[in-house]
Amino acid sequence: MCRAAGQYDVNDPRKPLHKCDVYRHPEAGNLLKQIMSKGASQPWQETLEEALGEGRLDGSALREYFAPLEEWLRLENLRTNEYVGWNYDGDYCKRSIETANLQVFGGYYNDANHQQQYLHFMKLLLSHLFISMVWNVILK
């Protein structure tokens, strides 16, 4: 929708995704109308393919959108010497770590399936944002 409204261009640093605003842009509204008009008449992958030329979702746009916040958080954590995560305290947690499918890395433990969980989270977040956006359009 941001591309359709001319407010986002991956190659133009003056048009970053996080500054996109599609409110009252007919091109964005027409794209949303095209997608929503299909209802449940066909699989959503086909609807996306027809409207966008791509039939799969991916979380990279959300990562790009939140990149300024992510960078600020990273720098703020470095500045304040904050550690984000869990400290590994030896064998006491070993059974819990193994039960939760976690792995120990350099004194800390992290999720072995982090990539799959991240992608699942991004899909849920994207779905929520899309539904919220559609709901706001319907109410206005």
Summarised one tens digit per residue, pLDDT across range 44-56 is 899 989 988 888 8
Q: Please state the separation of Cα 103 from the chain's center in Å.
A: 25
Tell me which of 68 and 109 has the higher pLDDT: 68
Q: What sections of the chain are H helices per DSSP?
A: 26-37, 44-52, 60-65, 67-79, 94-99, 114-139
What is the per-residue pLDDT for 21?
92
Side chain identity at 48, as an amino acid letter?
A: L
Give the tens place of pLDDT for each residue, 29-85. Answer: 999 999 999 999 999 899 989 988 888 888 888 888 898 998 998 899 889 888 777
> What are the domain boundaries of the chain?
2-58
| Distance, CA of 116 to CA of 104 (rounded, Å) | 18
CB 38 within 8 A of CB 47: yes
